[in-house]
Chains A and B, each alone.
Chain A
Amino acid sequence: NAGVTQTPKFRILKIGQSMTLQCTQDMNHNYMYWYRQDPGMGLKLIYYSVGAGITDKGEVPNGYNVSRSTTEDFPLRLELAAPSQTSVYFCASRVSNTEAFFGQGTRLTVV
């Protein structure tokens, strides 16, 4: 099993550009999450999903959008990139109350 796969690993965006961070899991997990991690700030929840077709905002959703059309995929969309969105983004998945599995992260720089 590949687990949780994130693409791309690195990206540089110009201010105002848009992009989609991809996340795929092959473990048939119902819960999926997007976090951002800034230096010394831990992981902040952006959006999460409890199953296909169901998404909800986390702590820091502004500037982002998500969709969950299948169990496996949970893409994160940045519409108008801003320097404040420079961060490392992690996707995670879990089954109900069990542990969460993380991808290796996407390192995004907005210039």
Chain B
Amino acid sequence: QKEVEQDPGPLSVPEGAIVSLNCTYSNSAFQYFMWYRQYSRKGPELLMYTYSSGNKEDGRFTAQVDKSSKYISLFIRDSQPSDSATYLCAMSADAGGTSYGKLTFGQGTILTVHP
């Protein structure tokens, strides 16, 4: 079983739709959760960063973490064609612990928002 599972999609939605992206994980030591966006032929860029359980909102983006279910989500409201990219979830345990801050990624979900 992979430590982090992410539905690779691809996902195609019309402009203005609400997009839901999800990851599940198996390592209960994970405490830090991130979502990265990667445009074609570019490096990943951080979109959202959360610690432990809860919600975080930034503009059209909302990240949710449910540690009891080992499940994280990213919601994109009013999606735009410029949101078309690959979205990667990432997570890590405490860097001071035995994991030494390893950052584990999901497979990535390819999202296309069409006008």
Contacts and interface: CB of A to CB of B under 8 A. Distances in A.
Q: Do A and B come from one complex?
A: yes
Interface of A: 4, 31, 33, 35, 40-45, 48, 50, 56, 58, 90, 92, 94, 96-105
A102 B47 CA distance: 13
Which interface class (under 10, 10 to 19, 20 to 34, 35 or more) fits B?
A: 20 to 34
Contacts of B42: 104-105
Tell which of A96, A97, A102, A105 has the most Cβ of chain B within 10 Å: A97
Contact of A33 (B88, B103, B108): B103
A97 B95 contact: yes
B95 A31 contact: yes
B95 A42 contact: no
A103 B42 CA distance: 9
A42 B42 CA distance: 14
Nearest to A43: B105
Given A4-B43, A50-B95, A96-B96, 8 more contacts: A40-B107, A42-B106, A42-B108, A94-B101, A94-B103, A97-B94, A100-B34, A104-B43
Contacts of B44: 43, 90, 102
